[in-house]
Structure 1
Amino acid sequence: MDLYSFILWVLLLVLINAVANIGTFFLFKKAGHFNSWKAFVPIWNIVELLKLVGRPNWWIALFFIPLINFFVGIGLMVDVAKSFGKTSFLQHVGAILLAPLVFLVWGLDKDTKYLGGSATEAFKKKYPYKKSTTREWADAIVFAVVAATIIRTFFIEAFMIPTGSMERSLLIGDFLFVSKVNYGARLPITPVSFPFAHHTMPVIGTKSYWDGIQLSYRRLPALQQIKRNDVVVFNYPMDADEPFNRPVDKRENYIKRAVGIPGDTLWIDNAQVYVNGTKEYNPPGEQLYYTVITDGTDINPDRLHDLRIDGYRASEREYLLALTEELAQKLSGWSNIVSVMPRLEEKGHPADMDPVFPKAAISQNWNQDNYGPIIIPKKGWTVQLNEENLPIYERAIGLYEGNKLEKREGAVFINGERANSYTFKMDYYWMMGDNRHNSLDSRYWGFVPEDHIVGKALLVWMSLDDKAGSLFERIRWNRIFKSIH
């Protein structure tokens, strides 16, 4: 955020606070409070509002408990509205969403009178109030939407696995619970959006958010840092580009394994990941494409189906199958199998298909199975920029960290000044799918910035196999409540 925008936001917050205090001042006067000036004193004004509506003073402690304070605040606004005879649905919504302005209007309105503390038994007997069925439903729906939004934003959210990039660790049709608490819940960056729609409205297909207001990246305190090999949900960084140009928190959700964390030096040698010179952990579900040669007889497709093995027949004796190391050993023991060998791209040769990140001179002889070495940026790390490594870090420096990066006259300029080095403002991660030969991941689009992190995958709460028959048969019973490692 530039200085001009920061000043505008500060002035806006000061204005909103001033309007709220003035409105509360006039409400206190209507209620007969001689110390109406307390409306301008932080915390004290809340204590006075609690007295005004008949709530006990100890409720002030609830305003210091995260999230609970949100719901208590909503209740207090509704209590204030009822204390001044405002009982309609729209009046209560106004008190919740537009309290500063509404309080000022009510405070200046001659017809608005203070009736007493709406939370007291005396008030309830004197002004009995029964909601209509429509009002009961409306209140219930609004509360459910608000509560669900709070839960999925700050605590836990459900996701579904749509692709096979994490096979066999996670399967297509797995439904997951993803914790926002573990890594610290990210506060909304694009706050004006339609509830429960991520970036696109169902049916009509339009944007589900308004990007006219975008807040700075902030995150609540975390229970833990991302550990190497955690399974992480994050926003797809390439959605920042055309044709989507989506804000950070509205980019597509991806799920991969964090094989590299900030500060790591990572490389891949014949499909084996190495980090900081050490051979990295291979998850049990990790699989590669293998070339399977038979003696000329067919492989029984039912056996492949029962083992959930995907692939195809390349020739009369050759099959290309996606296998874990365990399955590769299992197939090697079949009587009609001559050999089972991983199908790896050759070391020192460019990728057979799509070029890998950063698609520049430094990576021209890298491929999905033989890659790097590459250093993953860490907050506070200063990299010396040169012609060779600039393609690796220029996207992070320019797009993710909001700098203007230019290359001219054989030199690098950052924000108009010549630069030989750069110090990173955020941590970055290297994400890869366990289905190593069928995963669009960091090998193709690079680093994932910390502000793109959504949460930690905890467990599978339901799993459905679309290829099965009846609904009962489609449920993968052995995966329900399976923890994710």
Structure 2
Amino acid sequence: MEISILTFIVLSLIYFIAAHVGLYKIFEKIGIEGWKALVPFYSTYIACKTIKKSWLWIITYYVPFLGFVVWMGIIVELMKLLGKTSFKEHFLGVVFAPIYLPYIGFKEDVKFIGYEEAAKYKKSTSREWTDAIVFAVVAATLIRGIYLEAFTIPTSSMEQKLLRGDFLFVNKLAYGARIPMTPIAVPFTHHSFPEWIPLVGGKKSFSEIISFPYTKLPEMGAIERNDCVVFNFPAGDTVALEAQDRVYDQLVRDMGRTQVWNKYTITYRPIDKRENYIKRCVGLPGDKIEIIDGVLKVNGETAYQDPGVQHRYIVHTKDYELSKKVLLDKKINYEFPVQEYMNPETGAINVVDFWRSKDKTIYNLTMTEEARKKLQQFPNVVNIEQIIDKQDSTTYADLSIFPNSNLYNWTVDNFGPLTIPKKGTTVELNEKTFPIYKVLITRYELNDLQVKDGKIFINGEETTSYTFKMNYYWMMGDNRNNSLDSRYWGFVPEDHIVGKAVFVWMSYSPHPEEGGFFSRIRWDRLFTKVH
């Protein structure tokens, strides 16, 4: 059930007004004039003074969302002064404040017991732990949901800027914190329980009984070109649970919808529960992007390329082979070793190892320009040639490449030109543009789109154009030939943006050949800023 923001505000006002009616009577029981509980700001000051808490409590009370933690503390401390000390009573006072606070406020046998008597109450060890855990979970959930969240880099798609095994923090306030759209969820989970938990492992860990439309707090700044941005995977709305590393739409193209639904368990995920991705924003709303022989162009100009950007090369050698240790030392990604392909009859994913030839004289490597220059100096290296995925009008279109249509024979290295949608701008709809904007119009902006007798109808009305309701972005990985990014699934809507990657706090190599635990910690990357 989706609740509008206006409805949420009204319900919140009812909650706090009813709760403060209870506080009015509680203040009177303690010996404070009841009207003081109804005066904004002043009531917070009086409450904190009454429970003998510092100005830090008052300041934190007015920090969005974190203030709820202080509100919990104020209620609990005031209830202690009335002799209400059990966990059950505190739970009722916080969760059902509009009902329970007036109840004890108007109940005549509930009286102020005095500070000395209240101080005599000592919690048991189990109660101390319970209160501490509840407080920590609530505070951490609020911080994680609104302010700062930790992420792990699982793939090499952003190498060499971000490496597999990097642990980083993402600032959710940077572009305006998005209010949780699906707020009822098990703490510290994203969309599913960890696989190792008995009975519920891998199962959904959230409920859609209550949901909110896209709303965000005021932004600290806008997304800038080349920012490292975390966002919810746009094509992750529908997922095959047994093949979550595969894009559902591509599965359907490869196998057919009927076979996919017969073979896999299919589920839908709301926006904020889709997988988190991190890529570099290379295109802003209104930008025109194009890739020519692996070179990214933005608005007709060659785009800035971070020194960590990697491309794929064929390396020819002689005399002796290149060892994996040498490649690691030179920051050359030898983990582009396999190519996956699907057996159309069984749906099985088969893997072919092709990072080097059998005679160990030809290598397929991914590396930065700096690494390429270093490798070129090796005495056994004969030649290094960049692999470019050319457009070929004589072959069928690659349907894994956006816009996933036979009308466009684009590749990862030769793509576009394409203009990124901008809020308020209008685009013409015709046979050529329809594949580009179909998903945007229906899946992201929730319109009914139909084609009848060659005519386009949006929400039942015939049209030849469409005006965008949101801004969109173009995201690409720095590891250009080993990144599932916008070249495959298109635009990223603004309501999918999570935040900005700010710094790496820990980095641990996934390569066992680098040594033991401490040897695999990348000490030079600890607490480094993400650019």
- In structure 1, what is the Cα distance between the partners aligned to 2:483 and 2:123? 54
Indicate yes or no: 2:215 matched with 1:218: yes
The AA in structure 1 aligned to 2:516 is S
2:175 alignment partner, one of 183, 198, 203: 183
Distance 1:277 1:89, change over 3 A: same
The AA in structure 1 aligned to 2:313 is Y
2:412 alignment partner, one of 363, 368, 385: 368
Given that 1:290 and 1:320 are in contact with CA atoms closer than 8 Å, whether structure 2 keeps it comes out as yes
Indicate yes or no: 2:148 matched with 1:103: no
1:119 match: none
SS of the aligned residue for 1:140 comes to: helix
Aligned-residue sequence identity (percent) comes to 45
- Deviation digits for residues 417-453 of structure 1 (CA, Å, limit 9, x no counterpart): 2233222222111111111111111100111111111
1:265 match: 288
Given that 1:376 and 1:447 are in contact with CA atoms closer than 8 Å, whether structure 2 keeps it comes out as yes
1:314 alignment partner, one of 347, 357, 364: 357
SS of the aligned residue for 1:455 comes to: strand
1:286 match: 309
- In structure 2, what is the Cα distance between the partners aligned to 1:196 and 1:351? 45
Distance 1:75 1:333, change over 3 A: same
The AA in structure 2 aligned to 1:114 is K
1:130 match: 122
- Deviation digits for residues 109-138 of structure 1 (CA, Å, limit 9, x no counterpart): 454x1316xxxxx52356632222221111
Correspondence list, 1:433-452, <5 A: 433-452=477-496
Given that 1:31 and 1:52 are in contact with CA atoms closer than 8 Å, whether structure 2 keeps it comes out as no
- In structure 2, what is the Cα distance between the partners aligned to 1:257 and 1:126? 56
Given that 1:289 and 1:343 are in contact with CA atoms closer than 8 Å, whether structure 2 keeps it comes out as yes
**Range moving further from structure 2, 145-154 or 250-259:** 145-154
2:441 match: 397
Distance 1:337 1:401, change over 3 A: same
Given that 1:166 and 1:434 are in contact with CA atoms closer than 8 Å, whether structure 2 keeps it comes out as yes
- In structure 1, what is the Cα distance between the partners aligned to 2:182 and 2:491? 22
- Deviation digits for residues 257-310 of structure 1 (CA, Å, limit 9, x no counterpart): 111111111111111111111100111111111111234653344422432431
Distance 1:57 1:463, change over 3 A: closer
1:142 match: 134
The AA in structure 2 aligned to 1:90 is K
How far apart are residue 406 of structure 1 and its match? 2.0
**Range moving further from structure 2, 303-312 or 469-478:** 303-312
- Deviation digits for residues 202-237 of structure 1 (CA, Å, limit 9, x no counterpart): 222211111111112121222221111111111111
The AA in structure 1 aligned to 2:400 is P
2:403 match: 358
Distance 1:47 1:414, change over 3 A: same
- Deviation digits for residues 159-190 of structure 1 (CA, Å, limit 9, x no counterpart): 11111111111111111121122222221111
Distance 1:17 1:458, change over 3 A: closer
Given that 1:348 and 1:370 are in contact with CA atoms closer than 8 Å, whether structure 2 keeps it comes out as no
2:242 match: none
- In structure 2, what is the Cα distance between the partners aligned to 1:198 and 1:453? 15
- In structure 1, what is the Cα distance between the partners aligned to 2:13 and 2:217? 24
- In structure 2, what is the Cα distance between the partners aligned to 1:327 and 1:268? 23
1:43 alignment partner, one of 40, 43, 65: 40
Aligned residues: 475
**Range moving further from structure 2, 77-86 or 11-20:** 11-20
- In structure 1, what is the Cα distance between the partners aligned to 2:53 and 2:325? 70
Distance 1:167 1:51, change over 3 A: closer
Distance 1:377 1:106, change over 3 A: same
**Range moving further from structure 2, 451-460 or 97-106:** 97-106
SS of the aligned residue for 2:267 comes to: coil
| TM-score, structure 2 normalization | 0.81
Distance 1:351 1:291, change over 3 A: farther
The AA in structure 2 aligned to 1:252 is E
Correspondence list, 1:44-443, <5 A: 46=43, 50=47, 53=50, 63-67=61-65, 69-107=67-105, 109-111=107-109, 113-115=110-112, 123-125=115-117, 128-202=120-194, 203=197, 204-242=201-239, 243-295=266-318, 297-309=320-332, 310=334, 311=337, 312-314=355-357, 316=359, 317-349=361-393, 355-363=400-408, 365-443=409-487
| TM-score, structure 1 normalization | 0.88
Alpha-carbon RMSD across the aligned residues, in angstroms, is: 3.1
- Deviation digits for residues 29-76 of structure 1 (CA, Å, limit 9, x no counterpart): 76688867x87x673894697399567999877644435533332222
SS of the aligned residue for 2:167 comes to: strand
How far apart are residue 395 of structure 1 and its match? 1.4
Distance 1:14 1:186, change over 3 A: closer
SS of the aligned residue for 1:471 comes to: coil
Ranges in structure 1 where 5+ consecutive residues have no aligned partner: 117-121
Distance 1:299 1:205, change over 3 A: closer
Distance 1:344 1:52, change over 3 A: closer
How far apart are residue 193 of structure 1 and its match? 0.7
SS of the aligned residue for 1:472 comes to: coil
Distance 1:18 1:305, change over 3 A: closer
